[in-house]
Structure 1
Amino acid sequence: MSAFRNLQLPSKSFALGRSFFNRTSVLARRNMSTEQKFVQAPHKLLVIPGPIEVTDEVLFANAHPSMSHMSLDFAAVFGDCIRMTRDILYSKDAQPFLIAGSGTLGWDQVSANLVEPGENALVLHTGYFADSFADCLQTYGAKVDQIKAEVGGVVNEADVESALKAKKYKVVTVTHVDTSTAVLSNIKAIAEIVKKVSPETLVVSDAVCAVASEEIQMDAWGIDVVITASQKGLGTPPGLSIVVASQKAIKVFESRSTPVTSYYASWKKWLPIMKSYESNTASYFATPPVNLIYAYHASLTQITTGSVSLQQRFALHQAASRRIKDAAEEIGFRSVPVSEEVRANGMTALYFPEGFVASDIVPRLLKKDVVVAGGLHGAIKEKYFRIGHMGVSVIDPQRGDVDKVINALKETLAEAKASKA
């Protein structure tokens, strides 16, 4: 409950553990008045590639009083979330699934609902998360082929075209931004190739680290499934699996010849629930994360109706990405992505300068209250680290988050060099 230490109430403020149960605070917690000014407790700057920093409004919404998931009030909020999720992806009729779980649950949804045992799947590999998606597909009985890029690179588009001409695939999966390498794949170009060579094949984008920081035109580009989660560019605490399926994908699901091989991930269970909530009518299969839905609603509202448009949001992510990458490379770090064209805008992966290792850099950043992530890709795990710059950290320049990261990098490397002198 430490996050509430800085909650300012219209009348006398309270301190948890002493006057928590005075009348003012009880009414405030019950009504969640928008007139209250909630400020998060001081904390280290979280700039890993998710979870990310969230706004005060989102965190406060997460503390909404307990609500029945069957109430009409909650149904209206859930329905809004479904509609706004669709809007962020520039889709008119795709079907969002908002389910308690991590982004990993999205792999299960695709593997269980869209690929029947024995069918072929083509996985485009740009890092750790492609291996995991392939493993999930195989768990559900798919026959998986992979096209692997060099570390820091993207798959050759000509190789994708050749693979599609050589074999019939039910799905092609591509990690839009691989969080292990900060590599950005051209999902639009991949979808165009699939549409040209094998139009029946579904294009599946693992966009967990891309949605709301990279532009995704789901309908216009012909993407059939977008997988994401709440804790990255969508600026909400973790715990919500978000999958958006095109009507083409829904028809493939509805026409499958074998039963879905999952219980919790089954769209047979979840599709009626989502349709019900979007109609502002509550329905039940499994309990949704009620408070997290309120937080997600607050974040989606900021993204879709705030002072910064979606296009401006993407431009701000691009600008912050360039600043951090340019500053880091100027002092001796080197980007993992092999070219500027394949660098993600919501995160950065940097090789340590020659002669330095993680213990020289990461702990020193932590002492400066900057939390980054270590390496994840098996081939280079000990050679690099990762920085996330998504959401409020780049949308609100008054916070100074990007400046703090850049200054911390410069000071940290200078200190590390001095220690070795």
Structure 2
Amino acid sequence: MFRLARPLCSSVIRRMSTAEFKQAPHKLLVIPGPIEVSDEVLYANAHPSMSHVSPDFIPIFGDCLRMTRTVVDTTDGQPFLIAGSGTLGWDQVAANLIEPGENALVLHSGYFGDSFTDCLETYGAKVDQIKAEIGAAVGQDAVEAALKQKKYKLLTFTHVDTSTAVLSDAKAIAATVRRVSPETLVVLDGVCSVASEEIHMDAWDIDVILTASQKGLGTPPGLSVLVASKRAMQVFESRKSRPASYYASWKNWLPIMRAYESNQAAYFATPPVNLIYAYHASLTSITKSPSISLAERYALHREVSQRVKAAAKELGIKQLPLRDSEAANGMTALYYPDGLAAGDILPRLVKKGVVVAGGLHKSIKDQYFRIGHMGITAVEKERQDVDKVVQSLKETLEEARAEKK
């Protein structure tokens, strides 16, 4: 919802300054996505309806493609911006890069390892998993051993598994693959990491990074974002069979992306025009801010993460990741304190205006909850989002424990 100085219509939006376009008071959304978004992003999302082949829209789309490269730190990766959720990224990988009967290796650090496996198998891949214990990432020795036993077309891992808040070492995984099985494609599921965790696609030699708009990228849900390396595109172009999906096929989408980046219109399926405007506003803030560089942005996420985790520890709450080095910087997963459960914690936080998420990992779903602290919640200290989260959590525990006595 918005608080507007006067009734909303297209002519007003054209004249209205961003300063006049304010969100109405609402509960603080600190789940691990969707996240809070800025007034500027929502203002852009309220752009008057426009043709996807308009001369005004074409350069916006092209800029988004270029700025997406900047976020993942690649000079020549091929971005794909397609209407859909982060899950569409899995379909793109499965439909375009692997053919029926080929082998895939999935590093499992939570719920989304199983989901990516299911997607790959749906397209006919033969999938092996390496499962880490709950709260841990897969170790490099296990990755190396698996790669030596079998030839894999691709390896996937969830950079931050939203179900566990476990952070996998992307740089180390890619280095292991290049050393042991150089032709295996490295696929990073960055839905809960892009723009909140440090990523260097080219320097780390990663082949695919897939993500979505609603988490670290600070945009409303609905945009699937993927960047493929030259190596990945060569594998796609040399495949023997047609891509196993129509909508997810790069055969259909690649000419569209190339056209828009060349400042020309093209059509396969209608892009989410307003969402692209919102994404453009957020990317501009992330990649072209005069006050905060990407490196500083990552540092702010680490700082906020440490603060939330330290506050939880002081309150006697144990985090789900087993090692601090494998704990995400954009979110925190916490076990409920002894004697307390979801009903003691989550409703009280909501009453204090703070919305967190319950558990997701099926084995321990009722034992923990999750706090998201990425995007403007982490970067814009003047919002005092983290202050509110920490104070609300402290008050909630005091009240819940007092009631149990």
Give distance in 1, aligned partners of 2:59 and 2:283.
14
Distance 1:366 1:303 in 2: 29
Q: What secondary structure, in the 3-state scheme, does the structure 1 residue paired with 2:82 have?
A: strand
Out of 7, 22, 25, the residue aligned to residue 4 of structure 2 is 7
**1:373 and 2:357 aligned:** yes
Residue 34 (structure 1) shift: 4.0
Amino acid at match of 1:162: A
Residues 10-409 of structure 1 mapped to structure 2, 5 A cutoff: 14=6, 16=7, 27-29=11-13, 31=14, 33-34=16-17, 37-306=20-289, 307-409=291-393
Extract unaligned runs of 5+ from structure 1.
9-13
**Equivalent-residue separation in structure 1 for 2:231 and 2:357 (angstroms):** 37
Distance change >3 Å, CA 388–CA 35, structure 1 → 2: closer
RMSD over equivalenced CA pairs, Å:
1.0
Tell me how far apart the structure 2 counterparts of residues 364 and 163 of structure 1 sit (CA, whole Å).
46
Task: For 1:144 and 1:33, locate their aligned partners in 2 and report how far apart those are by CA, in whole Å.
Answer: 53
Q: Secondary structure of the equivalent of 1:274? A: helix
Contact 2:10-2:48 within 8 A present in 1 as well: no
Distance 2:178 2:394 in 1: 46
| Shift of residue 67, structure 1, vs aligned partner | 0.5
Distance in 2 (CA, whole Å) between partners of 1:105 and 1:52 is: 19
Tell me the TM-score normalized by structure 2.
Answer: 0.98
Counterpart code for 1:98: L
Deviation at 1:305, TM superposition (A): 1.0
Deviations 1:59-91 (A, max 9, x none): 010000000001121110000000000011110
Tell me the distance in 2 between the aligned counterparts of 1:180 and 1:238.
Answer: 18
The CA deviation string for residues 352-386 of structure 1, in whole angstroms up to 9 with x for no partner, is: 01111100101100100100000000111000000
* Cα distance change on mapping 1:408 and 1:120 into 2, 3 Å: same
Question: In 2, Cα distance between the equivalents of 1:96 and 1:81?
Answer: 9
Q: Partner amino acid for 2:352?
A: K
Q: Determine the C-alpha separation between the residues in 1 that align with 2:263 and 2:23.
A: 32
- 1:145–1:26 Cα change, 3 Å: closer
- In structure 2, how many angstroms separate the alpha carbons of the residues matched to 1:155 and 1:107? 20
Secondary structure of 1:335's counterpart equals coil
Tell me what 1:11 maps to.
none
Deviations 1:83-104 (A, max 9, x none): 0000111100000000000000
- Secondary structure of 2:303's match? helix
Corresponding residue number in structure 2 for 1:411 = 395
Q: Cα deviation per residue 1:317-341 (whole Å; 9 max; x = unaligned)?
A: 0000000011011111100000100
**Cα pair 1:32 1:64 within 8 Å, conserved:** no
CA separation of 1:117 and 1:64: change in aligned 2, threshold 3 A: same
TM superposition shift of 1:36: 5.0
Secondary structure, counterpart of 2:57 in structure 1: helix
Letter in 1 for 2:365: K
Distance in 2 of aligned mates of 1:203 and 1:292? 29
Q: What code does the residue aligned with 1:327 have?
A: A
Q: CA deviation at 1:35?
A: 6.0
Is there any run of 5+ residues in structure 2 with no aligned partner, and where? Answer: none
| C-alpha separation in 1, matches of 2:136 and 2:399 | 32
In the TM superposition, residue 37 of structure 1 has moved relative to its aligned partner by 2.2
